[in-house]
Structure 1
């Protein structure tokens, strides 16, 4: 049985048949030279709406993420990992392509990669280099995902898949569990057949969109965190929402609209955050099973695991729920890189460098010894070079629902401009990490503001 047929047979044997329609490609991967050194396997894990501090390794004393924490202790943790656009469709396109939104031009939920652009994404470049490639979970870019280009595909074609499925036996299956099962099947299929790159994308901990939005958790985690009290963030105080300008401070703002059913009372705040944490713990469980399976298949010594999120998330901060805007809660995400070949001196370390979602693709390619194309704007995170700032952009939809914003994030300051209104924000993130005071009109910071205005124009042009 050839690989493609075997892949389909494996998927047809599962309870996910009613939900997933795995596709395959008949064209075999390019074979590596016989004397070439063994290339590492690569697994990229991506969570949805996962803010940087929803992780035990990042100092969160409530959330339970023992398996991800263990990876961090054996790998490298990046506390300063950011996305260049905080919305799933755009960020996922940036992750795959290594490009800013300004270059890849995917600014909505329906636009697909062009054939040329797709050929320069990290999975297709790895396939060209002889890797078997698989994708499991939520692809999240465009309406016509390239399922037939992958050697293993188990994704719902919807841009935002449901949390629960019902199989032919009437059994309900949570999306996190379905992703785990498909991942296990893919690894069994790929084991012993040359290097592979498996991209695994969870829906968790994204909300289930609706009116009101909800957080469907796995039954076994329903009572987790029941007896703990989640601290109320400083910027949940109504004065911070009320400090926004009129164009922003409206019930039509999606961030505020979704806040009402989920965070408008102390009781809602407690339950929403706990459900969010429960979904993250569900993902962590899958990571533990993944590590165990790699050992069972004798793949653990040569498999790199990279874990990150597609964007952050407001959990009531600034009077909002969601992402999109430029605050830390929205644009900062977790990043762990575990490489079994890391020297002992690097294991369990923290990198202070400013990492970006556009760095994922060139980093994965570098692990495989594949040169990143010149079209990629990110850099290999394993190299010592660091950046001092980056360009942020979010231009989907626009006011009043999602006011468009662009700006510059540095290690000490953050400048954001709502481009439809000319409204500016300036925060000293070093001395004011919760971004409680907008310094844009403070004459003391006039020089800093002008410098960042100038830098913004430069970076905006460079992002094209």
Structure 2
């Protein structure tokens, strides 16, 4: 009897994995990393539902964690994506702006996952020059890409694909998932949308619904920037003054000429002509059936509209197209979530929804991003993984896009390289880690450039934010987010905030030293940028 018991125990022990063995492939989670371009957290109903309902994106929040204070390290497309891939700040990975090249030869989390046995793929927008590394399959948009009948670089070859970009990216992603879903190896899919990036061309099925909608205006739509400094006043992101009439508001070029409306930027009409010129006859007819009547109404009303009415009108036009693009993204996210559920993949798949940065939806009268002010600094971040993350969790931890790479590697059982500057969010999301960073760092370099947002860097805590604008000005701004959540008043020189100012300066010096940023690096990147743009 004893001998039989011994043999049973011995047999059981032989079935257990050695502590030195890599986890079984079936135990390592799959990863579906969904990123949209310029998707403001204000336009996700898991955060606030006054603009749009996003039921499918909300499914991730309902079954996982919603981060309320997720931010980016550099609020502009390509640098943000470089940070996401490498887990390093822009001044370390080298991609500080949209002009400098990205070095694909450096380490990244897709490369490390691929090397460890993951099946990897990327479909959609990455906005980094060169052939993507670390992927078994890829089909990416060249540069910004197009909404209608876009070109894709598919494993090195450029091909034009018929259809609407959000649908195509989803079709490609689902086709790849369907091919590899039964394999033993875990997978990592980067499913990256172009939408809702400028110039906001919705799909045909959302034209009529959204062009007739009216949306609430933000309280700060007519901000005069009295409480801020030079940077806010001199930026060129105002919806009325700086948004293109044809490319953005969809006023036909011949209507602009008839009404005597001049182009805002030199490529205003050209953008409209190029974008609509890509459409098939059927797509073009559907467009004209909706946007043609809008143009006729505008012609009748334009002469009687003052600047306030024009600002209100342009805000509504902006929201109608921007949010229609998001409705399509949400629909397609639902298709991917449905696939995972229908194929019994949901339980062992980490699903992330985020954006490459935040975006202004009329706050302070602005569109675009770039500033460290909240709307562009903050980004949506929703994560679900039923095995470890409790459904309906809400976290106000100060996480950043810097943390994606180490988080994915941690879940995959891969040692996080010492030169990655982010932190794994795994234990934070499972509720095991109650000690998290108390401050985050931000940099922005692309000036002088479109929108003319001045170079700056800064530090933010859960309550305060300190920013330094430099190069052609030398100004400091300090905000108390508890008392002034809309950041209307710079309190840097107010005596009541003297101790806070000193504390935040200390935090800024400390965090810059921690990450390795210096004024000398700022000067180097400035000189390289000015040389690249011919200044």
TM range (shorter): 0.7 to 0.9
The 2-side partners of 1:427 and 1:127 are apart by: 43
Match of 2:349 among 303, 313, 322: 303
Query: SS state of the match for residue 341, structure 2?
Result: helix
Query: SS state of the match for residue 57, structure 1?
Result: coil
Q: Contact conserved, 2:231 with 2:453, CA < 8 A, in 1?
A: no
Corresponding residue for residue 146 of structure 1: 132
Corresponding residue for residue 464 of structure 2: 413
The 2-side partners of 1:166 and 1:377 are apart by: 35
Corresponding residue for residue 258 of structure 1: 242
- Work out whether 1:50 is the aligned partner of 2:94: no
Gap runs ≥5 in structure 1: 1-31, 209-214
Deviation at 1:243, TM superposition (A): 5.0
Write out per-residue CA displacement over residues 84-137 of structure 1, whole angstroms, 9 at most, x where no aligned residue.
1100111100111111112112123354443552xx211001011110110000
Q: CA RMSD in A?
A: 2.4
Matches for 1:126-275 after TM superposition, within 5 Å:
126-141=113-128, 143-146=129-132, 149-156=134-141, 158-165=142-149, 172-193=162-183, 194-208=185-199, 215-226=200-211, 228-240=213-225, 244-246=228-230, 249-250=233-234, 253=236, 258-259=242-243, 261=245, 265-275=311-321
The 1-side partners of 2:414 and 2:331 are apart by: 32
The 2-side partners of 1:349 and 1:247 are apart by: 37
Write out per-residue CA displacement over residues 130-152 of structure 1, whole angstroms, 9 at most, x where no aligned residue.
101100001122x21325x4211
Match of 2:371 among 325, 328, 331: 325
Match of 1:109 among 94, 98, 117: 98
The 2-side partners of 1:300 and 1:238 are apart by: 45
The 2-side partners of 1:35 and 1:333 are apart by: 34
What is the total number of aligned residue pairs between the two structures?
A: 416
Deviation at 1:39, TM superposition (A): 1.4
Deviation at 1:249, TM superposition (A): 2.8
Match of 1:339 among 385, 388, 396: 385
- Work out whether 1:80 is the aligned partner of 2:69: yes
Q: Contact conserved, 1:82 with 1:332, CA < 8 A, in 2?
A: yes
Q: Contact conserved, 1:255 with 1:323, CA < 8 A, in 2?
A: no
Deviation at 1:166, TM superposition (A): 6.3
CA gap 1:115/1:184 in 2 versus in 1, 3 angstroms: closer
Corresponding residue for residue 352 of structure 1: 396
- Work out whether 1:402 is the aligned partner of 2:453: yes
Deviation at 1:258, TM superposition (A): 3.5
Q: Contact conserved, 2:98 with 2:446, CA < 8 A, in 1?
A: no
CA gap 1:112/1:124 in 2 versus in 1, 3 angstroms: farther
Query: SS state of the match for residue 352, structure 2?
Result: strand
Gap runs ≥5 in structure 2: 1-20, 152-159, 250-309, 428-432, 517-535
Corresponding residue for residue 490 of structure 2: 438
Write out per-residue CA displacement over residues 349-385 of structure 1, whole angstroms, 9 at most, x where no aligned residue.
1012111110111111112111211111111112213
Query: SS state of the match for residue 220, structure 2?
Result: helix
The 2-side partners of 1:73 and 1:254 are apart by: 34
Matches for 1:388-399 after TM superposition, within 5 Å:
388-398=438-448
Q: Contact conserved, 2:104 with 2:132, CA < 8 A, in 1?
A: no
Query: SS state of the match for residue 416, structure 1?
Result: strand
Write out per-residue CA displacement over residues 204-241 of structure 1, whole angstroms, 9 at most, x where no aligned residue.
11112xxxxxx20011111334554322212222423x
Q: Contact conserved, 2:229 with 2:477, CA < 8 A, in 1?
A: no
Corresponding residue for residue 157 of structure 2: none
The 2-side partners of 1:140 and 1:430 are apart by: 36
* TM-score of the pair, normalised by structure 2: 0.73
Corresponding residue for residue 39 of structure 1: 28
Corresponding residue for residue 22 of structure 1: none
The 2-side partners of 1:337 and 1:382 are apart by: 11
* TM-score of the pair, normalised by structure 1: 0.84
Q: Contact conserved, 1:109 with 1:159, CA < 8 A, in 2?
A: no
Match of 2:414 among 370, 374, 380: 370
CA gap 1:398/1:454 in 2 versus in 1, 3 angstroms: farther
Deviation at 1:273, TM superposition (A): 1.4
The 2-side partners of 1:360 and 1:33 are apart by: 22
Q: Contact conserved, 2:87 with 2:422, CA < 8 A, in 1?
A: yes
Structure 1 residue runs of 4 or more that deviate by more than 6 Å after TM superposition: none
CA gap 1:450/1:75 in 2 versus in 1, 3 angstroms: same
CA gap 1:73/1:223 in 2 versus in 1, 3 angstroms: same
